[in-house]
Structure 1
Amino acid sequence: MENKAHALAAGIFVLVVAAMLAGLAIWLTRDNTSYQQYEMTSKDGVTGLQPQAAVRYKGVAVGKVTRIGFDPQVPGNVLIRIAVNDQAPITPSTFAVLGYQGVTGLAHVQLDDEGVAEPPLPPGPSGLPRLPLRSSPLSRLAEQGPAILGQVEEATHRINQLLGDDNQKRFSQALDGMGQAASSVAALTQRLDTTVKERLDPALAALPPLAGDARQTLQALQQAGVQVSTLASDIGQATRRLSAEGGALDQITQGTQALARAADQFGSSTLPRVNRAADDASRAARQFGRTAGGINENPQLFIYGTGRASAGPGEPGFEAPKVQP
């Protein structure tokens, strides 16, 4: 009996100590802060956001996430309920975004204020006020990811085409050509220097005699110009004579028109007659050919005509004449 009494006393002592510890923990962790409940709805994913996640206003902790679920008003949207300290400066221009901490992937709600008031969102079925939840930079980057990947792929394809084997050969050939051109320019420069030293100086000395020769040449060119003008006037007169009414060009035009009329008449009247005569001759030739073929197969046509002769005795199809009674 004493053992049972000791065990009962020990059990009661443990229960009392456990209750005292629980009460102490609750008293130490009690939160007397007054909170205001808000709701947010978003069509984006909230990966990494958990209940009890921190709510920060410009980096300062002002509350926590109390519930994460689905919005009954907008199918497919996520509904987030947060508790924010009454001392937080929440204004009509306050909005929320999802922030991510380090490389852990854990998310929190970041409140901010741009000072530009936005139209207030209507409260949900719970009657709690709603704050606008904007897409986070990570969400916008994920939305633009396919377009960025497509552009990167296109740029990579173009770079691969630019750096292909054929283009590399062309670049090598272009570089070789540039090297050869540089060598040619250097050689040409040397030749120009040599030419200037060896030929230009003597030529400068011979310029006065050349000037006299140039004057004579100009006079000869003037005389040639006068002769050319005379020749041009003669050619103009000949052209006017050819182009005049009844001239050579007019006669050639009339002859060409007569030849065209004769060709049209030949094509409209003579050719059809020739074609009909050719058709008649072709039909006669075909009939003559059929007649010659028939005579070749059955020479008896000259005697019996086109009808077939009756078979004689001993020939296939022979029939004896009937005897009259």
Structure 2
Amino acid sequence: METRSNHVLVGGVVMGLIVAVIAFIIWLSQLSGEDTQRYDIFFKQAVDGLAKGSAVTFSGVPVGQIESINLEPKTPEFIRVRISVRSTTPILQGTTATIQGVGFTGVSQIQLDPAPSGAPPIQCPETDPLSQCPYGVPVIPTKPGALGQLLNSAPELLERVSTLAERLTELLSDRNQASIASILENVQDISRSLADRSPEIAATLAETRTTLRQAGVAAEQIGQLAGTTNQMLNQDGKPLVQDLRKTVQSAERSLAALEQTLNETRPAMNTVATQTLPEVNILVRDLRATSESLRSISEKIDRQGAGALIGSPKLPDYEP
């Protein structure tokens, strides 16, 4: 009788514990279901390090976990990751998701970056919800993270590194090395020549300084001379200018008087030119003819005597 009562007590305690555990599990499941919100994230990159149950953080604060990771048969370049986060997480329009590595373990998690304050929450539209929510839950847009950008740009980076290595190889070829060595030798020769001629260069610089100093003094003297010339022109030049003006005015008056005189004598000069000068020419011709006649008479008297003017000339005697 006593053994039977012990078995009943143990069985009752075990059954009570089982019921309590089941009730606790149900309570947790109900609490978890009411306190979470599901979102889809479409990554156009590899999701290495992510797995079902991986953490989801919002600005570094854990807010949920990954529920599933699925391939998209129609669009194989995308990978759909469904997450569940607490409903109190401010998932607003402008919130973005990135893949962030956790240390050097190879494990990754999803990092949610906050949106500007005041933005509306991300929700499926009432009209045509499949356009923005193809699987019935809102979609959080992605933003390439540092690791994703590095992985995506790795081929281009490797190509650039390879090109750079080829160019360095061409630059450091034997021919270019010989050219560089020759250039360095020439530079060394030039520096040695400059070092040898440093006294001459110093003397040239000293002469240049002296020349510049003398040029400055000469410029100052020229300035003083210009000031003196301006002063002389302003003080002594004014009387000369006034005398010159008076002389010019007198000359203008003389020219006016001469012009008036010429205007008055022009009729008399016209008369002389038209009447007197032709008569004088005739008189000169008559006088020239008279002088020629007188010259012929005088020559005749000289040869034949005064009788030549009265009778005829005497014939010479004839001798047989």
Q: Could you say which TM-score interval applies, normalised by the shorter chain?
A: 0.3 to 0.5
- Output the TM-score relative to the length of structure 2: 0.48
Q: TM-score w.r.t. structure 1 length?
A: 0.47
